[in-house]
Amino acid sequence: MGCCFTKRSITFTRNEILALNRDANKYGINMERYNDFCKSRNYRIAILHFSYKSSEYDNAYINAWNEWKRLQPWAIQLPDLDKNIVTQLAYAPTSLNNSNTIPKKHAQWQINSLKAFYNLQSWDNEIIDFKEQCNYLQYKNMDYFINYLLENKRYSCIVNNIKSLYGEDLWNLTQNIDSHWRDILSIITTSKHNDINNISIIEKFCKDKKEDLLNNLTNKIII
């Protein structure tokens, strides 16, 4: 399993640290600047706002940071925040916080979960963007593809995008089925036209098995 970085009792994977570094560099947030912000009038107003309308605290905090940031020389070309991640980035193990400790490998559980999904997908149809960005024809390799994803996108965003495109049920299926079913599904998704008869046999077998299971379940239900 890939190593993790631990700080303030929080464990970070390589994927998470890389994502935090991207956000920190994008918005220019580190502990030193966060402390300067906490000494500002904007921060005090945000805290005062929190005392009266806690449900609107995030918006008040974001606005306070953005207004303060616009007056800082280091932030002239940096974008405004649209979500409250100031504290998260202030305490994060990023290069802006003088931290260079990043695990060399991605967490194995993240690699395994993405492989379980993408192994059932058609390479030619599913990674057009990857081909364009990384010369896929040169690196037609699942390990390289998964590593590329984890290097450039937050794991949770990758999973959410998969669920959005293919449905949560398919994602959950790939994470929970045993190796035998995964092998069958993999064979089906990579089948050629010569395999149509075999696929038909598998389809019939699965249909009959489903009916047997439903009948068995019906017999067990007591009304």
Asked, for residue 10, whether it belongs to a domain, the answer is yes
pLDDT of residue 132: 47
Please give the structure tokens belonging to residue 29. 């947030």
Asked, for residue 151, whether it belongs to a domain, the answer is yes
Distance CA 73, CA 77 (A): 9
Is 8's pLDDT higher than 70?
Answer: no
Contacts of 89 (CB under 8 A, 6+ apart): 20, 23, 24, 27, 29, 30, 34
Regarding whether 138 and 205 lie in a shared domain, the answer is no
88 is in which domain, residue-wise? 5-97
Local structure of 149: helix, strand or coil? helix
- Range 118-136 average pLDDT: 55
Regarding whether 181 and 155 lie in a shared domain, the answer is yes
Regarding whether 175 and 124 lie in a shared domain, the answer is yes
Phi-psi region of 98 (alpha: psi -120 to 50; beta: other; left: phi over 0): left
Helix (H) and strand (E) counts in the chain: 13, 2
Regarding whether 144 and 119 lie in a shared domain, the answer is yes
Number of domains in the chain: 3
Asked, for residue 103, whether it belongs to a domain, the answer is no
Regarding whether 58 and 116 lie in a shared domain, the answer is no
Q: Cβ atoms within 10 A of the Cβ of 15, count? A: 23
How much is the mean pLDDT over the chain?
83
The pTM assigned to this predicted structure is 0.77
- DSSP character string of 26-48: HHT--HHHHHHHHTSHHHHHHHH
Asked, for residue 143, whether it belongs to a domain, the answer is yes
From 46, 64, 97, the end of a domain falls on 97
- DSSP character string of 184-200: HHHHHHT--GGGHHHHH
Identify the bridge partners of residue 10 per DSSP, sorted by sequence position.
7
From 73, 97, 121, the end of a domain falls on 97
Asked, for residue 34, whether it belongs to a domain, the answer is yes
């007056």: which residue's tokens? 71
Percent above pLDDT 90 for the chain: 46
Is 128's pLDDT higher than 50?
Answer: no
Regarding whether 199 and 186 lie in a shared domain, the answer is no
CB 64 within 8 A of CB 41: no
pLDDT of residue 1: 43
Q: Which amino acid is at 140?
A: K
Asked, for residue 102, whether it belongs to a domain, the answer is no
Is 177's pLDDT higher than 90?
Answer: no
Regarding whether 118 and 50 lie in a shared domain, the answer is no
Regarding whether 171 and 128 lie in a shared domain, the answer is yes
From 58, 75, 97, the end of a domain falls on 97
Regarding whether 120 and 88 lie in a shared domain, the answer is no
Distance CA 128, CA 150 (A): 17
How many CA atoms does the CB half-sphere of 48 hold within 13 Å?
7
pLDDT band at 181 (very low <50, low <70, confident <90, very high): confident
Distance CA 57, CA 49 (A): 7
Local structure of 92: helix, strand or coil? coil
Regarding whether 181 and 114 lie in a shared domain, the answer is yes
